[in-house]
Amino acid sequence: MSGQEGYGFCPRCGALMQDGVCRSCGYSMRKDSVWENPSAWQNRSEQQGPYVRETGPTGGEGPVLRPVQEQKKKSRVVAWIFIVLGIICLVVIITVTIVTIKGALDDARRDSRYGYGDGYFGYGNPYDDSWLDDYDSYDDTDEYYVPDAGDDYYVEITDATELDLSYQVIWESISFYADDPDEECTYDCICPVLKGPEGEEEKFAAMNQAIRQVVCEYEDGYETYPSGVESYGYVTYMDEEKISVVVRHTLKEKRTETPRVQAVTFRLETGEVISHEEMAQVDEELAWQFRARDSYQNGTVEFVEGLSDEELINCLKDEKDSVMFYTPVGLEIGFNYDGGWVTVTLKTDTL
């Protein structure tokens, strides 16, 4: 190529040079070149803005310039992407944690079963006599009704427990909650539990199971009542031969409450349920006594007044709605009806 002005070979890459500048890698022999004069590179950078040097097309370093601004933009975009992904992950983690905790609390709430022992509903804890210290300040008007054999009739359902028998009674509280955690409908029960002597565990376990079924009668349907249900069990009579357990149910509608009563009596020797036929013979004579005692003990109950003798007998025999149980005063007999329940006391030798 000699003989042609302005041409030569690049001392850096060996490619053709024209006017002192390599046409391949950009190497320059001129004095103002960034290769020969570093100050020219600085001046050029100040005029055109910040740049970064990248690898040239031949693999060596050449004047292939990229603005730093573009790389900064790319870095900011990447940073924002990571920030957004981090926020999304954090939100997901928090949401999953809240849902998990809420589910666990709801499950614990729905499945809650809690009990307490050594206490007698109505009479307090018979094993704790500390209440005697405050006896002097006790208001007689708040005294519990204590039924007695000398009473004319049984005034109200209450406990009549005994402490000197071969078996005892403790109390268990059971609560059920709706599947929907936002639903405030609940079912609260107070259930008497019999504790027998050694060797009779199986018999008492069977009686306790029967008692629980009566107390928790509405376990599978309490959610049909908007404000829930309450069921309280009472031991109205107990001796070494038999025990009567009565349950007062309160079915709560939005603005009204419907009371209902159920009872079960056991023969302690065998653990069997004593039937109504064994307690009293329901016939015309009993229907007549029921009317007379109802008028004296309860005043006027319109539902009873409107029944014929035959209808009254049918109510007293009804397997679902009739109720019989023992008390210290006598045998209580009656039935449930749409507006509530009614019973009278028979002062007989059936005890």
The pLDDT assigned to 200 comes to 92
In a domain, 17, yes or no: no
**Alpha helices, DSSP H, located in 266-308:** 276-279, 284-298, 302-305
- The Cα-based distances of 165 to 6, 196, 239, 274, 351 in angstroms read 128, 10, 7, 20, 17
List the beta strands (DSSP E) in the chain.
7-9, 16-18, 21-22, 51-55, 61-67, 168-177, 186-195, 229-238, 242-252, 257-267, 272-273, 322-326, 331-337, 340-346
Residues 6+ apart with CB under 8 A from 168: 194, 195
Residue 90 inside a domain? The answer is no
Other CB atoms within 10 Å distance of the CB of residue 206: 14
Q: What number of other Cβ atoms are within 10 A of residue 56's Cβ?
A: 16
In a domain, residue 36? The reply is: no
**Number of domains composing the chain:** 1
Looking at the domain assignment, is residue 103 inside a domain?
no
Separation of alpha carbons 126 and 124, rounded Å: 6
Query: If you ran DSSP here, which 8-state letter would residue 73 be given?
Result: H
pTM of the model: 0.62
Structural domain span for residue 308: 130-346
**Residue 210 located in a structural domain:** yes
- Splitting the chain (351 residues) into consecutive groups of 10 residues, what average pLDDT does each group show? 60 74 72 51 48 49 52 74 88 85 61 39 39 43 81 95 95 88 84 94 95 95 91 97 97 91 96 95 94 91 93 95 96 94 83 47
- 166 falls within a domain: yes
φ/ψ of residue 172, rounded to 5: -125, 135
Q: Considering the domain boundaries, does residue 235 fall inside one?
A: yes
The rounded distance, in Å, linking the Cα atoms of 9 and 176 is 96
Within a domain: residue 14? no
